[in-house]
Amino acid sequence: MYQYVGLIVLFPLIGLFINGFFGRKIKNETLVGMIGSAAVGLSFLVAAGIFVEMLGMPEDGRSHVVTLFTWIAAGSFKVSAAYQIDQLSILMTLVVTGVGFLIHVYSIGYMHGDRGFWRFFTYLNLFIFAMLNLVLADNYLLMFLGWEGVGLCSYLLIGFWYDKKFPGTGITWTGDAANKAFWVNRIGDFAFMIGMFLIFREFGSLTFREVMGGAETLAVGNNTMFWITLLLFIGATGKSAQIPLFIWLPDAMAGPTPVSALIHAATMVTAGVYMVARNSALYALAPTTMMIVAIVGALTAIMAASIGIAQNDIKKVLAYSTVSQLGYMFLALGVGAFTAGIFHVMTHAFFKACLFLGSGSVIHAMHEEQDIRHMGGLKKVMPKTYWTFLISSFAIAGFPPLSGFFSKDEILWKAFSDGSLVLWIIGASAALMTAFYMFRMVTLTFEGEPRWAKDKHPHESPATMTIPLIVLAGLAILGGFVGIPAVLGGGNAIEHWLHPVFAQAHHTMALSEHSSHTTEYLMMGISVVIAVTGFWFGRRMFLADPEADKRIAAKTGFLYRLLSNKYYVDEIYNGSVVRPLVRTSESFLYRVFDVRIIDGAVNGLAKTTGWVSAMMRYVQTGVVQNYAALVVLGLVVVLGLLIFS
């Protein structure tokens, strides 16, 4: 099956071309949707086939590189379009194509009647194509191609409803939100590129295998490795929405909800996590960077979770929740628990996709209403959405035995055992907030008395939307069972599965099991208590009084305003970066540098030429004898020179 890896990437490309070129002509929405979904579904089947084949192979023989063709060859520099299939990339491929397929199917229902229906599916297929290149690439450059490709799709899809207003700090249209995402990502991409250049300078190659091979001989604490890993991590903070570049993700909610589910929750934003995990061997050589990764992850987790408490837009809550969960993943990576990070990527893809799609279902039913203060009582009207949403909420809050419990608990445990108590406290506090804001949202949206306007008639969504929800909810329940930790008598299958990929990093870091099982049980118990506490408070408080926010706001005053205004981060960035940049561009770069210097040089050259020509043309008198006189003069001069020199 390995040799068919090209097909995984090819199917979305075919779907993209069919819908892109003929989508407008195909009047039938279902057909367009089916082509788009089938393209991803077929990729999933091929990936599943490869996965099954891999299961039957010995552990060391599971990693393969399939070269399709030489992409760039210039002297000693050679880059191939080659795909590396190993335990890590096949896992990501399965998640991308599997969750992607469900979201494609969901989109058929959600985007029904949209005038850009075919355009939507074209972009989605393009996204899947780029994302698969990102996770399957065997070298940094091809990965970067996918990296930029998903960024482009993110831009296209955030601004999909380009004529719709979208309020925000310094933002009026969805197009502004798309630009914001694109520009913020650009900063990260720049760092990624510099990191890539450094890698090439250091190792003379861009393929993962050769770089990891070269890294084997390097000493821990190598200065170059510090810069390489730090730059790559800055790239990851852009794509995966970490401090300081997380600001684009909440505004990315301007896009259609399936986009938020697919790109801004399940797959693209985890690209940074995947990239760091892929480079685990390099990160293991740079303990300083690892520490930075862990701290940034932990801070992002708690900051975003605290903002999530005070948001009223259903998608904004989920967006901050995503940022926060991504923070967890980086916390895991930072303490060396690469498996736990990837495990959380997987479970998060299931329950967060389910939550986003559920919110889409709610928004659909409420006719584009997104404010949870104007919802309530939807439980009875849309039971399927409610139940799947509830299950996923339990999963994200970390209720055993749902998937989120295992992955999040694994991260918290590793943060404690391999990191420090402070990291654990931050992570655990964020977990408490997560449970709280999730059940605040669930309660406000589905429970209690209806608070929506009389003219709204909510209804359950069609089957194309509810079936993906049910499947994802099922995965949110079951997804965690691949990673039951050893202390609970589980095999932690995912840890064994990914072990060969991270063996080199683990070897370098020389991590050892040093804590007793009792501590692990204790930590697990605390996690459960935290989840239940958050759940209980969130539910009780808002079931009793849907306007509890107002009371809290009155009581806490500034603190609440700080949270509901997202710590004023957007305002701070606007004041410290965006506006000075715009002002410098306007007053200096545009009015002085561009107009005076660049345009001045060009226009000046033209004017000088014009002036000289204007003077010169008086030589042309039109009198033939003048010309003849000049010819004679020239002749005399030339002859004179010839004779007298």
Q: Which stretch binds another protein (CB under 8 A): 294-302, 517-525, 527-535, 618-626?
A: 618-626
What are residue 168's DSSP bridge partners?
171
| Strand extents, DSSP E, 55-128 | 64-74, 77-85
- Rounded Cα gap, residues 336 and 280, in angstroms: 8
Q: Which of 57, 463, 632, 639 binds another protein (CB under 8 A)?
A: 632
Nearer to another protein, 575 or 640 (CB): 640
> Is 620 near another protein (CB under 8 A)?
yes
Tell me whether residue 4 or residue 611 sits nearer to another protein (CB atom).
Answer: 611
Contact 232, 195 (CB under 8 A): yes
Q: Is the peptide bond before 462 cis (omega within 30 degrees of 0)?
A: no
Closer residue to another protein, CB minimum distance, 554 or 615: 615
The secondary structure of 143-181 as a DSSP string is HHHHHHHHHHHHHHHHTSSTTSEEEETTEEEHHHHHHHH
Query: Measured from the CB atom, is 587 or 609 closer to another protein?
Result: 609
Of 5-13, 329-337, 513-521, 625-633, the segment contacting another protein by CB under 8 A is 625-633
Residue 512 or 625 with smaller CB distance to another protein: 625
Of the candidates 624, 641, 642, 643, which one interacts with another protein according to CB under 8 A? 624
CA distance 602 to 565: 48
Q: What are phi and psi of 74, to 5 degrees?
A: -140, 100
Amino acid at residue number 567:
Y
Q: How far is the CB of 645 from another protein (least distance, A)?
A: 21
**Is residue 584 a contact residue for another protein (CB under 8 A)?**
no
Nearest to 292 by CA among 255, 244, 260, 324: 244
Please state the φ and ψ torsions of residue 77, each to the nearest 5 degrees.
Answer: -85, 120
> Does residue 639 touch another protein according to CB under 8 A?
no
From the list 514, 622, 643, 645, which residue makes contact with another protein (rule: CB under 8 A)? 622
Is 199 in a helix, a strand, or coil? helix
Q: Which is nearer to another protein, 558 or 618 (CB)?
A: 618
Determine the interface stretch with another protein among 62-70, 191-199, 395-403, 626-634 (rule: CB under 8 A). 626-634
- Contact between 638 and another protein by CB under 8 A: the answer reads no
Q: Which range in 201-209, 268-276, 579-587, 628-636 contacts another protein by CB under 8 A?
A: 628-636
Distance CA 500, CA 508 (A): 14
3 state SS for 503-530? HHHHHHHCCCCCCCHHHHHHHHHHHHHH
Stretch that binds another protein, among 18-26, 275-283, 526-534, 617-625 (CB under 8 A): 617-625
Separation CA 226–CA 215 (nearest Å)? 12
Q: Is 617 in the site for another protein (CB under 8 A)?
A: yes
Q: Which of 510, 554, 623, 641 binds another protein (CB under 8 A)?
A: 623
Nearer to another protein, 52 or 630 (CB): 630
Size of the site for another protein (CB under 8 A): 11
Contact window for another protein (CB under 8 A) among 102-110, 465-473, 530-538, 619-627: 619-627
H-type alpha helices, 255-337:
257-261, 271-278, 280-284, 287-309, 314-334
Nearer to another protein by Cβ, of 113 and 622: the residue is 622
Of 421 and 624, which CB lies nearer to another protein in the complex structure? 624
Q: Which is nearer to another protein, 613 or 645 (CB)?
A: 613
CB of 604 to another protein, least distance (A): 24
3-state secondary structure 534-602: HHHHHHHHHHHCCCHHHHHHHHHCHHHHHHHCHHHHHHHHHHHHHHHHHHHHHHHHHHHHHHHHHHHHH
Residue 587 near residue 186, CB atoms below 8 Å? no
* Rg of the chain in Å (alpha carbons): 29
- The residue among 75 and 622 lying less far from another protein, judged by its C-beta, is 622
Closest distance to another protein from the beta carbon of 126 (Å): 59
Among 582, 628, 638, 639, which residue sits at the site for another protein (rule: CB under 8 A)?
Answer: 628
What is the smallest separation between the CB atom of 603 and another protein, expressed in angstroms? 24
- Told to check if 609 binds another protein by CB under 8 A, we report no
Tokens 């339990």 sit on residue: 394
Q: Name the minimum Å distance from CB 637 to another protein.
A: 15
Nearer to another protein among residue 584 and residue 621 (C-beta) = 621
| Among 259-267, 342-350, 465-473, 623-631, the segment contacting another protein (CB under 8 A) | 623-631
Among 629, 637, 638, 639, the residue binding another protein under the rule CB under 8 A is 629
The dihedral built from the CA positions of residue 502, 506, 512 and 518, taken in this order, carries a sign that is negative
Q: Single out the segment in contact with another protein by CB under 8 A; choices: 127-135, 389-397, 486-494, 612-620.
A: 612-620
Task: Using CB under 8 A, pick the residue from 76, 625, 642, 644 that binds another protein.
Answer: 625
237: left (phi over 0), alpha (psi -120 to 50) or beta: alpha
Binding residue (CB under 8 A) for another protein from 172, 288, 556, 621: 621
Burial class (CB in 10 A: 0-12, 13-18, 19+), 131: buried
> Which of 17-25, 94-102, 120-128, 615-623 is the region at the interface with another protein (rule: CB under 8 A)?
615-623
Look at residues 214, 189, 220 and name the one whose alpha carbon lies nearest to residue 199: 214
Residues contacting residue 222 through CB under 8 Å, at least 6 positions apart: 285, 286
Is 618 an interacting residue with respect to another protein (CB under 8 A)?
A: yes
Q: Which residue, 268, 133, 225, 196, is CA-closest to 505? A: 225
Binding site for another protein (CB under 8 A): 617-618, 620-625, 628-629, 632
